[in-house]
Amino acid sequence: MPFLKFDEIAACEIAPGFHSQLLHTGSQTLNFIEVDAGSEVPLHSHVHEQLSFVLEGQFEMTIAGEVQVLEPGRFCHIPSGVQHGGRALTHCRLLDVFTPLREDYKAIGGLDLSATA
């Protein structure tokens, strides 16, 4: 199954105001997120390395105490174990890429591509 339709991936709310479409491979999780303006995720850390891309809107990201506003064309890298959090200043579309696979997100749902390999 190498070709798929993105709109067939069920959306789920992983946190208040964060509506995700999750893709899981054998080694990573991709999280396409629609974020309601004003929604935020508190400071936290995890073992996963993370890349966060802003596709639409403005998202204020805090990483290791440094705060920046990300807009389309900007992204950030969050190493494993580093404290981070963020807030949607406007309605946003984001893409987060996690390595290794987020088992906790896989349990929530999404499309498991490792099952089709």
| Continuous H helices in the chain | 103-108
Token output for 14: 């992983």
Residue 63: which H helix or E strand, with range?
strand 59-63
Domain total of the chain: 1
Q: Exposed (0-12), middle (13-18) or buried (19+): which is 50, by Cβ within 10 Å?
A: buried
Question: How many DSSP H helices and E strands does the chain contain?
Answer: 1, 11
Q: What is the pLDDT of residue 84?
A: 98
6 is a domain residue: no
End-to-end CA distance of the chain: 8
8 is a domain residue: no
40 is a domain residue: yes
CATH number of residue 92's parent domain: 2.60.120.10
4 is a domain residue: no
Report the predicted TM-score, pTM, of the whole model to 2 decimal places. 0.93
56 is a domain residue: yes
Q: What is the pLDDT of residue 37?
A: 98
Q: How many CB atoms lie within 10 A of CB 109?
A: 16
Q: What is the pLDDT of residues 21-34, one digit of tens each?
A: 999 999 999 999 99
38 is a domain residue: yes
Q: What is the arithmetic mean of pLDDT over 101-111?
A: 93
89 is a domain residue: yes
20 vs 30: CA distance, rounded Å = 10
Question: Structural domain of residue 21, as residue ranges?
Answer: 17-116
Q: What is the pLDDT of residues 32-82, one digit of tens each?
A: 999 999 999 999 999 999 999 999 999 999 999 999 999 999 999 999 999
65 vs 67: CA distance, rounded Å = 6
